[in-house]
A and B are shown apart, each in its own frame.
Chain A
Amino acid sequence: MLSRLLSNDLPRSRWLVALLLVLFLGLAFAPFLFPGVKALNVAAKVLIFVALVASFDLLLGYTGIVSFAHTMFFGIGAYGVAIALNAAETPSWGAIVLGVLGALVISLLLSLVIGLFSLRVKAIFFAMITLAVASAFLTLASQLSDFTGGEDGLTFRVPELLSPGFTLTEEPLVTPLGEVDLNGRLITYYLIFLAVTAIFLTILRIVNSPFGRVLQAIRENDFRAEALGYRTVVYRTLSNVLSAAFATLAGCLLALWLRYNGPDTSLSFEIMLDILLIVVIGGMGTLYGAFIGSVLFVIAQSYLQDLLRLAGSATEGLPLLPALLTPDRWLLWLGVLFVLSVYYFPTGIVGKLRERAVLARRRGQP
Chain B
Amino acid sequence: MRLLNTDFDWKPLALVPALALLALPAVGSGSTWLTLTVAGLAMGMIVFIIASGLTLVFGLMDVLNFGHGVFIALGAFVATTVLASMGSYTTADSLWLNLVALLPAMLVAMAVAGALGWVFERLIIRPVYGMHLKQILITMGGMIIGEEMIKVIWGPGQIALPLPETLRGSFIFGDASVEKYRLLAVLVGAAVFAAMVWTLNRTKVGLLVRAGVQDREMVESLGYRIRQLFIGVFVVGSALAGLGGVMWGLYQQTVLPQMGAQVNVLIFIVIIIGGLGSTLGALIGALLVGLMANYTGFLMPKVALFSNIALMVAILLWRPQGVYPVTNR
Contact = CB atoms under 8 A, between A and B. Distances in A.
Interface of A: 60, 64, 66, 117, 120-125, 127-129, 131-133, 135-136, 139-140, 143, 269, 273, 276, 280, 320, 323-324, 328-329, 331-332, 334-339, 342-343, 346
Given A121-B316, A136-B309, A342 B141 contact: yes
B156 A276 contact: no
A123 B132 contact: yes
A139 B301 CA distance: 13
Contacts of A135: 265
A139 B305 CA distance: 8
Nearest to A128: B268
Nearest to A323: B152
B121 to A, nearest CB: 14
Contacts of B313: 117
21 contacts: A121-B320, A122-B321, A127-B64, A133-B309, A140-B306, A269-B261, A276-B140, A324-B152, A328-B151, A331-B147, A332-B144, A332-B145, A335-B144, A336-B141, A338-B137, A339-B138, A339-B142, A339-B145, A342-B127, A342-B138, A342-B141
Contact of B148 (A60, A129, A335): A335
Nearest to B258: A269
B286 to A, nearest CB: 15
A342 B137 contact: yes
Most buried by B among A125, A139, A143, A276: A125
A77 B236 CA distance: 44
A339 B156 contact: no
B265 A273 contact: no
A120 B142 contact: no
A60 B137 CA distance: 12
Contacts of B306: 136, 140
B134 interface: yes
Contacts of B132: 66, 123-124
A316 to B, nearest CB: 16
B312 A132 contact: yes
B276 A124 contact: yes
A273 B138 CA distance: 11
A217 to B, nearest CB: 17
A280 B137 contact: yes
A323 B308 CA distance: 38
B268 A332 contact: no
A324 B145 CA distance: 11
Contact of A335 (B128, B136, B141, B276): B141
B225 interface: no
A124 B136 CA distance: 9
A129 B272 contact: yes
A318 to B, nearest CB: 14
Given A66-B133, A125-B276, A276-B140, 12 more contacts: A66-B136, A117-B313, A124-B64, A131-B265, A132-B265, A132-B268, A132-B309, A332-B152, A335-B147, A338-B141, A338-B144, A339-B138
A273 B140 CA distance: 8
Interface in B115-131: 123-124, 127-128
A157 B249 CA distance: 44
Nearest to A330: B148
A117 B152 CA distance: 41
Contacts of A60: 133
Interface string B255-292: 00000010011001100100010000000000000000
Contact of A125 (B124, B143, B272): B272
B149 interface: yes
B302 interface: yes
A220 B19 CA distance: 42
Contacts of B276: 124-125
Given A64-B133, A276-B137, A332-B149, A129 B144 contact: no
Contacts of A127: 64, 136
Contact of A143 (B137, B264, B272, B302): B302
